[in-house]
């Protein structure tokens, strides 16, 4: 299926983002997120993970569309695992050692007795790889740039997560993948996977497709019903990557955050949001607003259904404002 991402403001405004019944049910399967359950989880430090079968022998473990807090323990991310003929393939490992251990236990429950043959890390953000400790480094694979990013920033991320999540993070250390990938395809345990080396959300965003089921694991290039995060974003490159993802044949897309997506909604929604973000912050820079003033601009109503949109918008102003200011108001050398 090949569909260009055409984003006209009128189309987007006319169709505010709202979830289908199936997507809502997926979220309940991922944990209801109510205050009572959240408090119980925090007391027990138990993620109580559950898996949703999104394709034959393919399970997603869906995180909440929130920011890290003591109630969710950092469980705000999607990870997945696939039973292949000779074992199991895992996509991303979650935010902590505790989460990685819980994920391993869940995999063993769903696919008892089968070895974990491959773990892919989609990118170096802490919610996606800090569970690596629970897996054998020799089977964890990612592009070299992701490995380099983890080596450079991983422990700093872990320290920051300790500050946000306390005991949920106990014992967690950054572990870099043991395998650097560069091939476009690899066969794991009797199953073929296609691999794409993209960028934009970070400087290295790795995308994996199970060629048998057609499920595409897009990492954080795609968000659905959750505002995209931008601490390492290059908006123009991200836009190009969304076009690439749109052109890939797939049966289903698993975004890094939000429910699974059979209609490329996550690509349209993410493109729409980052286009608006870029335009809004550029506009604030051009008008000479301070960063605080830029944080207060109205957010279009069509984005109201995106989780934590105001918070993420404010964070994005901090991330993107200096770069856009440099681009829009370049320093001019004055000679006398």
- Residues that bind Zn ion in the complex, under the rule CB under 5 A: 125, 220
Nearer residue to Zn ion within complex by CB, 145 or 191: 145
Burial group, residue 183, by CB count within 10 angstroms (0-12, 13-18, 19+): exposed
Q: How far is the CB of 122 from Zn ion (least distance, A)?
A: 8
CA distances to 53, 61, 82, 96, 114 from 110, rounded to whole Å, are 10, 12, 10, 21, 10
Q: How far is the CB of 233 from Zn ion (least distance, A)?
A: 9
Nearer residue to Zn ion within complex by CB, 66 or 220: 220
Nearer residue to Zn ion within complex by CB, 83 or 220: 220
- Whole-number Å distance between alpha carbons of 48 and 61: 11
Nearer residue to Zn ion within complex by CB, 25 or 318: 318
Say how far residue 291 (Cα) sits from the centre of its chain. Answer: 26
The residues facing 142 across adjacent strands are 180
Nearer residue to Zn ion within complex by CB, 88 or 208: 208
Q: How far is the CB of 231 from Zn ion (least distance, A)?
A: 8
Q: Are 178 and 171 in contact (CB under 8 A)?
A: no
* Residue 36 parent element (H or E): helix 35-44
Query: How many CA atoms, within 13 angstroms, populate the side-chain half-sphere of residue 304?
Result: 7
Q: Which of 78, 120, 23, 61 is nearest to 256 (CA)?
A: 78
Q: How far is the CB of 193 from Zn ion (least distance, A)?
A: 21
Q: How far is the CB of 256 from Zn ion (least distance, A)?
A: 6
């Amino acid at each position: 299926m090949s569909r260009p991402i055409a984003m006209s403001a009128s189309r987007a405004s006319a169709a505010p983002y709202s979830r289908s019944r199936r997507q809502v049910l997926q979220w309940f399967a991922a944990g209801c997120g109510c205050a009572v359950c959240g408090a119980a989880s925090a007391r027990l430090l138990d993620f109580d993970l559950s898996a949703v079968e999104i394709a034959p022998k393919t399970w997603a473990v869906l995180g909440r569309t929130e920011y890290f807090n003591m109630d969710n323990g950092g469980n705000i991310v999607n990870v997945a695992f696939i039973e292949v003929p000779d074992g199991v393939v895992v996509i991303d490992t979650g935010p902590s050692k505790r989460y990685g251990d819980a994920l391993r236990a869940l995999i063993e429950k769903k696919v008892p007795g089968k070895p974990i043959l491959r773990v892919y890390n989609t990118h170096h953000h802490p919610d996606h790889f800090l569970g690596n400790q629970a897996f054998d480094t020799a089977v964890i694979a990612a592009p070299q740039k992701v490995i380099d990013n983890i080596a450079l920033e991983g422990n700093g991320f872990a320290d920051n997560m300790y500050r946000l999540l306390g005991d949920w993070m106990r014992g967690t250390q950054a572990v870099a993948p043991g395998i650097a990938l560069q091939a476009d395809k690899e066969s794991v345990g009797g199953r073929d996977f296609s691999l794409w080396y993209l960028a934009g959300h970070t400087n290295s965003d790795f995308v994996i497709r199970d060629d048998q089921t057609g499920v595409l694991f897009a990492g954080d290039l795609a968000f659905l019903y959750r505002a995209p995060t931008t601490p390492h974003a290059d908006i123009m490159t991200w836009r190009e990557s969304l076009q690439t993802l749109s052109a890939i044949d797939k049966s289903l897309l698993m975004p890094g955050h939000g429910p699974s997506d059979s209609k490329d909604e996550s690509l349209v929604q993410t493109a729409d949001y980052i286009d608006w973000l870029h335009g809004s912050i550029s506009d604030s820079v051009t008008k000479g607003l301070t960063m605080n003033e830029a944080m207060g601009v109205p957010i279009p109503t069509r984005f109201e259904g995106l989780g934590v949109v105001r918070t993420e918008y404010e964070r994005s102003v901090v991330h993107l404002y200096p770069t856009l200011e440099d681009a829009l108001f370049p320093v001019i050398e004055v000679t006398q």
